[in-house]
Structure 1
Amino acid sequence: MKKILVAVGSGLKGGNTDQLADAFIQGARENGHEVQKFFLGGTDLHGCMGCGACQKNGNRCAVKDVMQQIYPYLEECDTIVMASPLYFWTLSSQIKAFFDRMYALSKENIYPQKDTVLLMTSEDDTETTFDRPDSYYRFIVKALGWNNTGTYYAGGCHMKDGKKQVPERHLNGAWLLGKSM
């Protein structure tokens, strides 16, 4: 059994990205994994201040916000899943801040070993839609020494009857990725 932390970097609970994350979570739980989900949108999440306090204070970040609740789960989880909508051709600011704040986990710029997954949604659905965030994600994962265990990019997510709607094929794809963990 793995311990999986899912960070949803969207502003809309129940929106496309949240739905995709929930499909992944369902698959992972069906495979016996323990999953903890954090919805970052609408919280007091702040970016890294670059103060270096975490490196002097036993890896304790000086910024007092929602990350203080998340850090214990980050420390004990095996897998970190980041779910983000595509905003201006990259990851959401919530996921970027989440990445930045993981600096507090490092010791002499070495990070604890983690598996990672990236889930993304977008209304746009071309073969290059997710190129930029995919490149950034892969760079960060490599720089941290982590293991990319999967990505799922759900293009073509639209409004239907006034509600955000992820096509069923994408919900199934995210579920299968979760189930494969």
Structure 2
Amino acid sequence: MRNILVVVGSGMKSGNTYRLTDAFCKGAEEAGHVVNKVFLGDKKIVGCSGCGACQKNGNKCSIQDSMQDIYPSFTQCDTLLLASPLYFWSVSAQTKAFIERLYAISKEDSYPHRDTLLLMTAGDDNFWTFEQPVSYYRFFTKALGWTDVGIYTAGGCDGCEGNRHIDEKHLTAAYKMGLSLS
């Protein structure tokens, strides 16, 4: 059984990224895993200021915001799923701020091991659409010594006249991803 922290870096609870994570969570819970979902759109999290206080005071970030509420959930999880819409060819600002603030939990640039997954959505579906954010994800997870156990990118999530929608095939794939975690 895994203890999965799902971090949704979207600003919309009714959006494609949130729906994609709902499908993943359903599969993971059916597989017997414990899932804790955090919606960053409801949180106030600023990026790391680089002050270094966390490396001098027992790994406690000096910035007092919603990240303080998330650190305990991160500490308890063994698996981290990051979910983000594509914003300007990268992860959302909320997701980036969350990732930066994980610096506080490092000890001498060593991080507690996590298995990680990435779910992303985007309006277009070109072959290059997710190239930059997936590269970023692969780099920082490798740098932190974490193990990537899955990436799913859901392109083509804009319908006619800009209406948001996500194809059922993406929801099914995310559900199966959650269900298949061992």
TM-score (norm 2): 0.96
- Decide whether the 8 Å contact of 2:124 with 2:158 is kept in 1: no
Map of 2:54 onto structure 1: 54
- For residues 96 and 2 of structure 2, the distance between their equivalents in structure 1, rounded to whole angstroms, comes to 24
Map of 1:134 onto structure 2: 134
> Alignment partner of 1:5: what SS?
strand
Q: CA deviation at 1:161?
A: 9.5
Change beyond 3 A, Cα 1:65–1:160: farther
Which whole-Å deviations, capped at 9, do the CAs of 1:109-148 have from their partners, x for residues lacking one? Answer: 0000000000000011011111111111101111000000
Map of 2:120 onto structure 1: 120
Map of 1:8 onto structure 2: 8
Of all paired residues, the percent bearing the same amino acid is: 56
Structure 1 segments (4+ residues) deviating >6 Å: none
Q: For 1:18-167, what aligned pairs fall within 5 Å after superposition?
A: 18-159=18-159, 164-167=164-167
Unaligned runs of 5+ in 1: none
> Alignment partner of 2:41: what SS?
coil
How many residues are aligned here?
181
Which whole-Å deviations, capped at 9, do the CAs of 1:29-75 have from their partners, x for residues lacking one? Answer: 01000000111014211111111111111111111111111000111
- For residues 26 and 42 of structure 1, the distance between their equivalents in structure 2, rounded to whole angstroms, comes to 21
Map of 2:17 onto structure 1: 17
Unaligned runs of 5+ in 2: none
> Alignment partner of 1:69: what SS?
helix
TM-score (norm 1): 0.96
- For residues 96 and 161 of structure 1, the distance between their equivalents in structure 2, rounded to whole angstroms, comes to 29
- For residues 162 and 110 of structure 1, the distance between their equivalents in structure 2, rounded to whole angstroms, comes to 44
